[in-house]
Amino acid sequence: MTPRVLYTLLRYTLGVWLRWRFRVRIVYDRRSRALRPPYVVLANHVNFWDPFLVAMPFGPPVHFIAADGNFRGHLMRRLMVFAGTIPKAKAKNDLESIRTLQRFIAERKVVGIFPEGQRSWDGTSREVLPGTPKLIRLLGAPVVSVILRGGYLSTPRWTKRLHRGVLELSVTTVLTREEISHLSKEEVTHRIASSVTHDESQWQRATGALFFDPRRAEHIETALFLCPECGSWDALRSHGATFTCTVCGARTWHAPSGALYHVAATPPQARHHAHSYHHHRFPTVAAWNAWQLQRLREDIAAPDPAALPYRVPAADFLTGFRSRVLRPRGTVALELSREHLRLTAALALPVAELTAIHVQYAHQLEFYHRGRLYVLRMRRPEDSAYRLEETVLAIQRR
C-alpha cells in the first residue's frame, strides 16, 4: 500500500468521521488554493487529531514529522511508515529527519511540521522551536499555514473527551519560494511565528463559539496544579464540569465557552439555583496557567520551595531508546527534589543531567539520561506529567 492509497482510504473513512464529529469548516486564502507541490505546511498544535485535520484542506498527501515515540508499537510503526511519516527525536537535533524532509521536497511532495513541537496545554501558542526558520530556508519550498480555531476547546490536551462545537481550519500562504530566498532571517522568523500564533480564548470571545460536554472539566488537574485561593500545590480534583481544591474548598466551573467561573453556594432560601457563579480571578485556563508557571519559577528560586519535594505514589517505569519498543521496569514511586529525580531507593538521577525532557501524549513524561530514554507513565490524573516537566525545567534554569 502506497502513501497515496492509504491517504485516499483515510480521507473517505476517518476523514469523513472527523469532519462530522468536529463539524469542520475550511477557509482558504486566494493564493493557497492555487499552490502546487512541493510545499511545507505549518500548523499550530492543539489536538490529538491534528495531523489528520491539518491534512484535510490539501489534495496530495501531507508527510508529517512525528515524535519517534509514535513509532514504538508494531501496528503504529507500520501505519506511520505506510503514510510516509517522518520520525524525529523529540527535543533533540535529528539530522536524519532533516535529510528525509529534503528528499521529499526534491521529490515534489508536501511535508507537514508542527513548529511548536508539543501540543498546547491551555490554548495559547507555544514558542516556535528555534531551528524551524533555518529548516524552512534550507528546504526552500513555499510555506502555507493552517490555524486550527476551536481545536483546543474541542479536545483540550488534558482530556480524551470531545467537546462538541465547530472547528475552523484557516489556510494561508505564508512564504513563497522567492520570499524565502530574498527576505532576511529575521523576517522569515517573524512570518513563521506569526503564521501559527493563536489564542483560543481571544478567538472564542470574538466568535462566541461554544463547546458542550457534561464532563468537560474532567482531568483538568493534569494541566492546573496550583490553587490561586490558598496556594496549595496538587490539591485540585475534577468532576463533571467543575473542579475543586481539596484544601480550601474553592470550586471552579468550566463553562462551554472555556471560561472559568468561581462557584459559590447560595443561602438555603434561594431555591431556584443551587449555586451562583462569579467571575474568576483567572477567567481562562491560559491565564491560570501563566500565573501558576510564574509562581512555580519563583518558588523554585526561593530558599525553601513549597513546590518541592514533588511526590507521585505510583507510575509505570519503562526504558528504551528513540522508536525502539519500550522495556517495562515495574512500578515506581517518584520523588523530585532540587538535586535528584528519585525513581527507586537505588536509582536517583541528577536533575541537572536530564535532557530532552517532554510530555508525550498527556500523562507520559520522557527524558534522556546518559544516552538512555526513561519513560514515566502517570497512573492518576492528579499526578501531572506536565507539572513534573515544568518543575524540572524550572530547576535547571535557576
The count of other CB atoms within 10 Å of the CB of residue 272 is 5
pLDDT, position 266 = 45
Instruction: Between 4 and 396, name the one with better pLDDT.
Output: 396
Q: Does 134 have pLDDT greater than 70?
A: yes
Give the list of residues 6+ apart from residue 74 with CB closer than 8 angstroms, or none: 325
Bridge partners, residue 144, by sequence: 41, 173
Q: Tell me the mean pLDDT in the region 140-145.
A: 96
Determine the average pLDDT of the residues in 278-299. Answer: 94
Look at residue 271 and tell me whether its pLDDT is greater than 70: no
Tell me the pLDDT band of 92, cut-offs 50, 70 and 90. low
Dist CA 329 CA 68 (whole Å): 20
Q: Determine phi and psi for 38, rounding to 5 degrees.
A: -90, 150
- Its sign, for the CA torsion 257, 258, 262, 266, is positive
Q: What is the pTM of this model?
A: 0.91
Most confident of 79-83, 193-197, 324-328: 193-197
pLDDT band for 77, please (50, 70, 90 cuts). low
Quote the DSSP letter at residue 233.
Answer: B
- At residue 380 the predicted structure's pLDDT band, cuts being 50, 70 and 90, is very high
Instruction: Count CB atoms within 10 A of the CB of residue 248.
Output: 13
Q: State phi, psi for 276 to the nearest 5 degrees.
A: -120, 150
Is the model's pLDDT at 272 over the cut of 50?
no
- Do 280 and 201 meet the contact criterion of CB atoms below 8 Å apart? no
Report the pLDDT value the prediction gives residue 71, as an integer from 0 to 100.
64
Helices (H), 169-283: 177-182, 185-195, 200-207
Percent of the chain with pLDDT over 90: 73
How many Cβ atoms are within 10 Å of 39's Cβ, its own excluded? 25
Domains of the chain: 3-207 (3.40.1130.10), 220-301 (no CATH), 310-397 (2.30.29.30)
Q: CB–CB of 116/44 below 8 Å?
A: yes
CA of residue 238 relative to chain centroid, distance: 20
